[in-house]
Amino acid sequence: MRKNILKAPFVKEMCMTTANMYRIGWDERNGGNVSYLLDEKEVSKYLNLNKVIRRIPTGFEAKELIGKIFIVTGRGKYFKNVEYSPETNLGIVRIANDGTTAELLWGFEGGGVFTSEFPAHMMSHIARLKVDPENRVVIHTHPTHTLAMNFIHDLDEKKFTHTLWEMCTECIAVFPEGVGVLPWMLCGTNSIGEATANKMKDFRVVVWGMHGVYGAGKDLDETFGLIETVEKAAQIYVLTCNRPRINTIKDEQMQELAEYFKVNYRKDFLNL
C-alpha cells in the first residue's frame, strides 16, 4: 500500500520553502518557480509510476533528463497558496522518452501545467548535474535587495561578486565561485534558459539583470540558504552604499577566509 503523497518529505519541503519565500517578500503574486529532482525509488513509495495522468509538451529537448522525475511549481500559481493546496499548485512530472514531453504523475489539478520557466530550469539542471551530480534543486526568485542592487551597481560579474563578498564575512565561504550576471533578457524564453545554463557551468547563483536570480544546490535548504546569503549581502550594500565607508573587509582578509575554510574561490575576483 502506497503512502499519502501529501505527507511525502519532498512535498512538505516544497510547501515550506515556497511559503517562506513568499512571507519574506521574494515572490510576489505568481513570481518565482522551483524545481527539485527526485529519487525514483522514493517517489514510488507514494505514486504508481506507471500511471500517467496526461502529457505536457516542454518546448525543448532534454535527452539528458529522460526518465528523471521532478516536483515543480505551476504556471501562474502563487507561492502563498502552495501550502494550502499543493495538489493544485505543484506537479510531479517525468521527462518522457522523446525528451520533449513531460508525463504528469501527480498534481496540477484543474488542468494546470508547470511554470513557463520550466525549460530554463531543465537546462540549468543539465548544466549543474554535469558539474555536481548531487545538485538537484533549481530556484528562481526575486529577492528584494539583490534586485535593488541591480539598478545602482555595475552588472559586471567580478565587480558585483566583489561587492557582495565585502558585505559579510561568510560570503566568500558560502559562494566562493562568486555570482554570474546576465543583462536584462526576455523571460520565459529558451534564449534566457540557454544563457543561464551556460553561466551555471561556473556559478550556482546567476543574477538576471533587473529581474531576480537563479540558484542551484543539493537540496532545498542549501539552495535557499545560498540565495539568502547573497540577499543578506545585497541588503547590507543597499543600506550602506550612500554613506561613507569607514571599515571594510580587505581582499587579503577575504583570501585568508577562503583559504581557512578550504574553498575553491575565484582568485581573479580579488584585487591582490
Residues labelled catalytic: 117
Say how far apart CA 103 and CA 96 lie, in whole Å: 6
C-alpha cell of residue 153? 551597481
Say how far apart CA 235 and CA 229 lie, in whole Å: 10
Within 8 A by CB and 6+ apart from 131, the residues are 200, 201
Give the residue from 233, 201, 200, 211 showing the smallest Cα distance to 141.
Answer: 211
Percentages (nearest 5) of helix, strand, coil residues in the chain: 45, 20, 40
Eight-class DSSP state of 261: T
